[in-house]
Structure 1
Amino acid sequence: MSKYEEYDYVIIGAGIAGCSTAYFLSKYSKSILLIDKNEKVAFGASGAAGAFLSPLLGKTNNFKDLITKSLKFSTQFYKDINSKSLSNCGVCRIPKNDEDRKKFESYKDYMDFEYSVLDDGYFFEIGSQINPSEVCELLTKDIDKKLNYEIKEFDRNEDNSWIINKEIKAKNIILTTGANTKLIKEEYFDIRAVWGQKIDVLTSSCTDINYHKACSVSKAIKIDDNIYKVSIGATHHRFDCDKNICDYCVQVANLNKNCSNCYSKSIVNEDSLKLIDLANDIVKLEDIKVVDVKIGPRASSTDYFPMLGKLVDSKRSFEKFPHLINGTHIKDEMLEMIDNLYVINGVGGRGFVLSPYLANQLVENIINKSKIDETITTHRLFKRWAKKQKHKK
């Protein structure tokens, strides 16, 4: 009898990316374990998300195409899983200033979704919002979980499987840990935390749709006579911490129960007041009372595109192709990869738009060997990093 708990797939990170991956994998396997350092699913950055689903405006490019495909996929996905919290009420996108309005006007020929002019902005019927906890719990209701579980050791076994904390054996590991990249030892895998905050307020004002300007404001939920709950969210801070010295804010568990050393209560309170001011610049909210505040580090890549698939093994790739350091072009499929280790990361502030689409893509790649678009694989980050190593030497 094995001394380990054994699984075919261990997913580390129970935000929307990890929960979506578990859901799609469960169509092919029953041997799945979902691990998270927090006490609940969607208790980190995903729980602090406004979870708004909104179009990206702009001229045609690869990133916008990715967001458009993801938005169509994810909106239908949340409907298909019968999410009780999905509110497909539409969103009014409002320009921040005259310069922003000119940009909006220039984007009209490139709109991917139907819209109409509404007051001072543009109304998109596809705009939606969901509740992070409800959706993540729904996706993982039949999945084995280890929550409040800290990973201290993470090593390759002689049979090419992975051993976690000398307790769990996994044939495959999928890392969906967001801004906390301590388990990824590759230097090229550069992720920055952009901190976001969401507040729920009670108000006597009733909003009928979602709004987005400098922050996002949700459709109101009626609580009692003349009392409504409204969510307000935005991305705020990049802290210039040296992750090699201190990465406490990103790594601490159950952050929303215990404010961290750096992201203090004073910052949280100050940002709540800013969010209320930004919301009132969109729609006037009367008799506001803040009833819930959540913060979280949203994982952003250097080029804003997400990362999907296996990790490039930089050491073995350099050994095989020493001239990579001179910028020599090597086909992606020729690079050495880390077997049985996959990632979804870098979804930024659009996690609930991107994650279901990316999770489905990854699972189809793992199970059915379908190709992942080169714009979202880890190869691009490795190649850019490799070219810089000659200068460093």
Structure 2
Amino acid sequence: MNKTYEYIIIGAGIAGCSTAYFLSKYSKSILLIDRNCDLAQGASGAAGAFLSPLLGKPNKFKDLVTKALKFSTEFYKEITPKEITNCGVVRIPKNNEDEEKFQSYKPYMDFEFTQEEKGYFFEIGSQVNSYNICKILAKDVEKRFKYEVKSYKKEDRFWLINDEIKANNLIITTGADISLIDEKYFNIRAVWGQKIDIESTTCISKNYHKACSLSHSVKLEDKDTYLTSIGATHNRIDCDLRVCNCCLSKKELSDIEHDTYTKELVKNNTKELLEKANDIRLIHEPKVVDIKIGPRASSIDYFPMVGKLVDSNKTLDKFPHLKNGSHIKDEMLSTIDNLYVLNGVGGRGYVLSPYLAKVLVDEIQKNNFLNVEITTHRLFKRWVKKLF
């Protein structure tokens, strides 16, 4: 007979692994599921895993990123100092217009910086080892790989997955693939990301960001060459993800042999990344040694999606006047019991996920309130307005 778990987390990227870590402080009955063969095989594996400040004038999204960057940087240093390299980042404007923006942002910088190499050096800039971070975060929870979740339903007080595994609580952290979320207001924009690792004779001592991100170099053992990461591309996937789920449903997306279109896209993106990196620093004798690809998930307003899902059918049955544009308080919206999400972290997954996972677990365990900017309630209310 299959085991019943207190928590099941679907999706073993940085969001799922971060959630597993914080939940493990409260429960030993946790199962982390992924359809891939290992952790961090999708967008989390394709991420450059850079921790860098968001520049701009004050706004709520920038405040969120700044708070998360401070939290996550200290968090990684505390739990796994060997997997974070805090070498700083040089942010270089792409053109004159970008330089003008940088100048206008100066009074609003959240972190100390100095002018350096035609750009601005931020000491807080870091990079983490994406796979090792996920492995460390999830080390204390049970894991099941190569397991495809095809269905889940409420049976008594449990969630029943594929008619075989039970959980008291279900947490969905599947990124761009939202096929398991049957709510039309829950919309994702998938952005194709690619990262390449190159071996070259060029040694780079810090991270850079211009039109792409270029990492510090690591010397290869028994060689006079260095390993450097370049990432990431930002190609929008224009497919209707609820109709065509082809790329997102691939179990091993980084296996680029599955179709000609993907191979051509990867080839073009590799060329693009090398050109953009050379615009930052001239890289001698580059040799591509690894390629990672994956679709990153962003919401329509860039804010993440955290917490319980609003049950649109129950809410509209209970408050039919919402169809006429009426407003009600968030706490009056019907939500689905014991079902949570952490999604929409976009290209800042390694900055946002640990912070948001802590916030989500605090909501589950301590009934803490979530900021309205990150709940699913905002998406539901916008969806209702457009419907009628």
Q: Tell me the distance in 1 between the aligned counterparts of 2:330 and 2:145.
A: 36
Matching residue of 1:179: 176
What CA deviation, in whole Å up to 9, does each residue of 1:61-87 have, x standing for no partner?
000000000000000010111242211
Matching residue of 2:192: 195
- How many Å apart are 1:236 and its aligned residue? 2.1
Decide which of 222, 230, 238 is 2:228's aligned counterpart.
Answer: 230
Residues 130-209 of structure 1 aligned to structure 2 (within 5 Å) = 130-157=128-155, 159-209=156-206
Q: So what's the TM-score if we normalise by structure 2?
A: 0.98
SS at match of 2:385: helix
- How many Å apart are 1:258 and its aligned residue? 4.3
Alignment check: 8 A CA contact 2:233 2:273 kept = no
Q: Tell me the distance in 1 between the aligned counterparts of 2:22 and 2:240.
A: 36
Matching residue of 1:370: 368
Matching residue of 2:217: 220
Matching residue of 2:89: 91
Matching residue of 2:127: 129
Unaligned runs of 5+ in 1: none
Alignment check: 8 A CA contact 2:111 2:122 kept = yes
Amino acid at match of 1:150: E
- How many Å apart are 1:263 and its aligned residue? 5.2
Matching residue of 2:330: 332
Q: Tell me the distance in 2 between the aligned counterparts of 1:321 and 1:70.
A: 36
Alignment check: 8 A CA contact 2:176 2:190 kept = yes
Alignment check: 8 A CA contact 2:363 2:369 kept = yes
Decide which of 14, 28, 46 is 1:16's aligned counterpart.
Answer: 14
Task: Tell me whether 348-357 or 140-149 shows the greater mean CA deviation.
Answer: 140-149
1:355 aligned onto 2:353: yes
Alignment check: 8 A CA contact 2:46 2:194 kept = yes
Matching residue of 2:319: 321
SS at match of 1:251: coil
Q: Tell me the distance in 2 between the aligned counterparts of 1:331 and 1:262.
A: 50
Decide which of 375, 381, 392 is 2:379's aligned counterpart.
Answer: 381
Matching residue of 1:37: 35
Unaligned runs of 5+ in 2: none
Q: Tell me the distance in 2 between the aligned counterparts of 1:163 and 1:263.
A: 37
SS at match of 1:78: helix
Kindly report the root-mean-square deviation, in angstroms, between the aligned alpha carbons of the 2 structures.
Answer: 1.1
Q: Tell me the distance in 2 between the aligned counterparts of 1:367 and 1:259.
A: 44
SS at match of 1:367: helix
What CA deviation, in whole Å up to 9, does each residue of 1:238-280 have, x standing for no partner?
1221334321101111111244548511110111011000000
Alignment check: 8 A CA contact 1:83 1:138 kept = no
- How many Å apart are 1:36 and its aligned residue? 0.4
Decide which of 259, 274, 278 is 2:272's aligned counterpart.
Answer: 274
Amino acid at match of 2:191: V
Amino acid at match of 1:349: G
Q: Kindly, what percent of the aligned residue pairs are identical? A: 61
Residues 104-123 of structure 1 aligned to structure 2 (within 5 Å) = 104-123=102-121
Q: Tell me the distance in 2 between the aligned counterparts of 1:213 and 1:384.
A: 34
Q: Tell me the distance in 1 between the aligned counterparts of 2:171 and 2:261.
A: 28
Alignment check: 8 A CA contact 1:48 1:198 kept = yes
Residues 334 and 259 of structure 1, relative CA distance in 2, 3 Å threshold? farther
Q: Tell me the distance in 1 between the aligned counterparts of 2:217 and 2:147.
A: 36
Alignment check: 8 A CA contact 1:92 1:210 kept = yes
Q: Tell me the distance in 2 between the aligned counterparts of 1:362 and 1:261.
A: 38
